């Protein structure tokens, strides 16, 4: 009887151990499955965005790659994506985004109808404000285009300053000397070789801080009323299957950020020198 009892107890213990082992195995299998699923999901939610160097808004050397890149990253982060930025020369960025199928988006671009062949446009993510930089000592009035007739302008090669100013140059109402860099334009302004330098306000101010000595920068001012405002956009390649969905998600989050005041915080930080 004692032997039978011991055998029965042993069988029950063995059965219990087997059940426990099976349960542990199932828990481990479930944990591994969940881990793999999470890892796969995390990997699948990485977005690759190709951009060009455009300080202070987007720059490989800036904190968070600049305020516009920071804004885009944070908005997509709210939707559960991790953004990886890939920098390339501007001459290649468009074609890489349009045809390589390696990138989910590119930023940031002005609207042109011909670009609709290759891309879907987001809502405006940035409004550029073009002003005239001048010497404080000249006290030039340059709040609108009618006030600049007869003046000598600086400019950047292969850049449009809006159809109205471009036409004034073409018609000879103003002259324009174009060079290859913002710094060169400011040097010409300081030497009196040009009267005004049209440039996006934030870009001009960033260049004054980084490229000119404080004494020289203090000699330059700018018009407080922009003569041109340009909207810029994130573009999503038409040949990527998720582009329309990503655009809708991004636009919704951008709208919320603007309404809450969060959008403006990125540009306030730019003014404060955080980037």
Q: What is the DSSP string of 179-208?
A: ES-HHHHHHHHHTTS-SBEEEEHHHHHHHH
Strand 126-135 to strand 228-237: parallel, antiparallel, or no bridges (unpaired)? antiparallel
Q: Does one domain contain both 146 and 89?
A: no
CATH value at residue 179: 3.40.190.10
Q: Which of 5-19, 77-91, 182-196 is the least confident region?
A: 5-19
Q: Does one domain contain both 81 and 102?
A: yes
For 1-63, give the DSSP string: -HHHHHHHHHHHHHHHHHHHHHHHHHHHHHHHHHHHHHHHHHHHTEEEEEE--BTTTB-TTSG
Q: Does one domain contain both 112 and 78?
A: yes
CA distance 126 to 230: 8
Find the length of the chain: 275
Q: Does one domain contain both 57 and 80?
A: yes
Q: Does one domain contain both 168 and 258?
A: no
Q: Does one domain contain both 86 and 140?
A: no
In a domain, 16, yes or no: no
Q: Does one domain contain both 117 and 235?
A: yes
| 181 Rama class: left (phi>0) / alpha (psi -120 to 50) / beta | beta
pLDDT of residue 216: 97
Q: Does one domain contain both 138 and 114?
A: no
Domain count, the chain: 2
Last residue of a domain, one of 229, 247, 263: 229
Q: Which of 136, 140, 141, 96 is nearest to 235 (CA)?
A: 96
Most distant CA pair in the chain, distance: 119
Confidence of residue 143 (pLDDT cuts 50, 70, 90): confident
| Token couple for 202 | 């934030």
Q: Does one domain contain both 174 and 142?
A: yes
What is the tens place of the pLDDT at every residue in 199-253? 999 999 989 988 999 999 999 999 999 999 999 999 999 999 999 999 999 999 9
Q: Does one domain contain both 222 and 267?
A: no
Domain that holds residue 157: 127-229
What is the tens place of the pLDDT at every residue in 35-48? 444 444 445 489 99
Q: Does one domain contain both 222 and 237?
A: no
């Amino acid at each position: 009887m004692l032997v039978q009892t011991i055998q029965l107890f042993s069988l029950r213990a063995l059965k219990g151990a087997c059940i426990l082992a099976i349960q542990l195995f199932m828990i481990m299998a479930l944990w591994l499955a969940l881990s793999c699923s999470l890892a796969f999901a995390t990997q699948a939610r990485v977005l690759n965005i190709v951009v060009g160097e455009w300080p202070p808004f987007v720059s490989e050397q800036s904190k968070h790659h600049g305020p516009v890149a920071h804004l885009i990253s944070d908005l997509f982060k709210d939707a559960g994506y991790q953004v990886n930025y890939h920098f390339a020369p501007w001459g290649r960025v468009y074609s890489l985004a349009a045809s390589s199928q390696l990138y989910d988006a590119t930023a940031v671009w002005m609207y042109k109808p011909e670009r609709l062949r290759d891309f879907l446009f987001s809502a405006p993510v940035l409004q550029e404000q073009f002003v005239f930089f001048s010497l404080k000592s000249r006290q030039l009035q340059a709040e609108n285009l009618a006030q600049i007739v007869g003046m000598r302008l600086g400019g950047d090669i292969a850049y449009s300053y809006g159809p109205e100013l471009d036409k004034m140059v073409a018609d000879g109402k103003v002259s324009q000397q174009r060079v290859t860099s913002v710094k060169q334009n400011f040097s010409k302004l300081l030497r009196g070789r040009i009267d005004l330098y049209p440039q996006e306000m934030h870009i001009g101010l960033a260049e004054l801080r980084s490229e000119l000595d404080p004494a020289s920068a203090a000699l330059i001012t700018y018009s407080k009323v922009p003569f041109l405002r340009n909207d810029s956009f994130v573009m999503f390649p038409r040949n990527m299957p998720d582009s329309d969905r990503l655009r809708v998600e991004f636009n919704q989050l951008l709208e919320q950020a603007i309404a809450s005041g969060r959008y403006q915080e990125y540009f306030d930080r730019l003014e404060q020198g955080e980037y």
